[in-house]
Amino acid sequence: MSEELEQLQDENNETIYERLTFIVDKGQEPTRIDKWVQARIIGITRSKLQNGIEGGFLTVNGKIVKSNYKTRPGDEVVYMSYINPDYTELKPEKMDLNIMYEDDAVMVINKPSNMVVHPGIGNYTGTLLNGVAHHLLSLNPELTEDVLPRFGLVHRIDKNTTGLIVLAKTPEAASHLAKQFFNHTVDRKYVALVWGDVAEDTGRIEAHIARHKQNRKMFDAYPEGEIGKHAITHYKVIEKYNYVSLVSCILETGRTHQIRVHMKHIGHTLFNDWEYGGDRILKGTIYTKYKQFVDNCFEACPRCALHAATLGFIHPTTEEKMTFESDLPADMQAVITKWKNYKAISAAKE
């Protein structure tokens, strides 16, 4: 019996799902799939496993099976296990959620800046999931408060990244969406303001991503592929404003801090990204008026200027392709306007 473990992680490198892959030995006698898998996953209960099987989190040779399926030699068994975030209780909180779409299977939410997606150490309240829990309980008071965390999250975005995030409302939907994220078939386009005049209008960045060798809270690009995970980002310049550029980025893979790391790797750190050095003047001649202008821009957009603008996936129930678009938030629009005006004034002086 061979075994392989993969993990789907969010932008903070927190594991959301584990995908365990097993191959049934040639000499294995037919055994109920739930008993066979339970014997190979430490600490999993029979009831949790059966619930996962019913929700479609287990496949044999690419097909969903029932708990009474009997194993056969050579079967490829894949089980996705949800890893609970680091909290024990989810307190429902009333808040205004910008729900772009909702049905019985999924929710698509336009997340604002300065909002953590789920509770954790130091952030037990005020998170997106606190608001979603209140919303779902208001629709169906019979739901238990821990329903959503059990299967809702299939991806996350950073606290200060704005834009689109999809959540599953059923175990079946979670399984379906998680597989799409694993297989990199979800369409995700981001818009970012970056330092510098990007020379090429379009480009492809391919460099492995792993933790920074000196600062373990950061990540770095390793173009030779000696360590880390394979990562590809496609970018396109939308507009240039002398010392900064507005770009769109399409993720071919989904690695931790991928856009932030890849854009820095090619010399274009995201504007006001304090973790990667974008919160200081990186382009332009530093003199008093220019410094004051840049400081005003930092105040207008007091975060990393990154927005999840497009999200496309196959609906887990209807199998239809769904695509959602989110306009740039007010803070990014404000800082872009400032740079447009700066460019116009500079051009007029020439």
Any idea which residues carry the catalytic annotation? Answer: 158
Alpha carbons 301 and 294: distance in angstroms, whole number: 11
Question: Which residue is it, tokens 């999809």?
Answer: 166
Neighbours of 73 (CB within 10 A): 12
Of 273, 316, 203, the C-alpha closest to 11 is: 273
Phi first, then psi: give them for residue 180, nearest 5 degrees: -65, -40
Q: Give burial (CB, 10 Å; 0-12/13-18/19+) of 76.
A: middle
**3-class SS at 145?**
coil
Return the half-sphere exposure (C-beta side, CA atoms, 13 A cut-off) of residue 226.
5
Record the tokens describing residue 348, joined without a space: 């007029």
Q: In whole angstroms, what separates CA 113 from the centre of its chain?
A: 15
Longest Cα–Cα distance in the chain:
82
Indicate the angle between helix axes 288-300 and 330-349, nearest 10 degrees: 160
Q: Which residues contact 59 (CB under 8 A, 6 or more apart)?
A: 65, 77, 78
How is 8-67 classified by DSSP, letter by letter? EE-TTS-EEEEEEEEE--TTPPP-BHHHHHHTTSTT--HHHHHHHHHTT-EEETTEE--T
